[in-house]
């Protein structure tokens, strides 16, 4: 979660963009997982579509995390 980061505003626009992607993807992932495992099954749920959305969210989270690692590693080496 973005709240795990210090409250200071990130200096880099790339960091802010990566954090936004990470946060929005995490919320989307949570929402899609709820669709996949509803308390009461919804007859109109397309489980293949939900599964594809979960995979896409997980990919976006990994991508944002990689961007943050790359950016912070470069900043720390400068």
Q: pLDDT tens per residue, the chain (78 residues)?
A: 445 554 455 567 888 888 888 899 899 888 888 877 766 666 777 878 888 988 999 999 999 899 888 888 877 776
Q: Whole-angstrom Cα distance, residue 5 to residue 32? A: 24
Q: Which residue has the tokens 């990470």?
A: 22
Q: For the chain, first and last CA: distance in Å?
A: 27
Q: How many domains does the chain have?
A: 1
Our measurement of the distance from residue 45's CA atom to the centroid of its chain's CA atoms, rounded to an integer in Å, reads 23
Q: Which residue has the tokens 């979660």?
A: 1
Q: Determine, yes or no, domain membership for 3.
A: no
- The parent domain of residue 69 ranges over 12-36+44-74
CATH number, domain of 63, equals 1.20.120.330
Q: Determine, yes or no, domain membership for 6.
A: no
Whole-prediction pTM: 0.66
Q: Whole-angstrom Cα distance, residue 5 to residue 37? A: 30
Q: Determine, yes or no, domain membership for 2.
A: no
């Amino acid at each position: 979660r973005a709240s795990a980061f210090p409250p200071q505003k990130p200096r880099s626009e790339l960091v802010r963009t990566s954090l936004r992607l990470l946060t929005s993807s995490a919320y989307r992932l949570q929402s899609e997982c709820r669709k996949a495992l509803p308390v009461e099954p919804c007859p109109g749920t397309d489980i293949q579509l939900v599964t594809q959305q979960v995979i896409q969210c997980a990919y976006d989270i990994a991508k944002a995390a990689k961007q943050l690692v790359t950016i912070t590693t470069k900043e720390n080496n400068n």
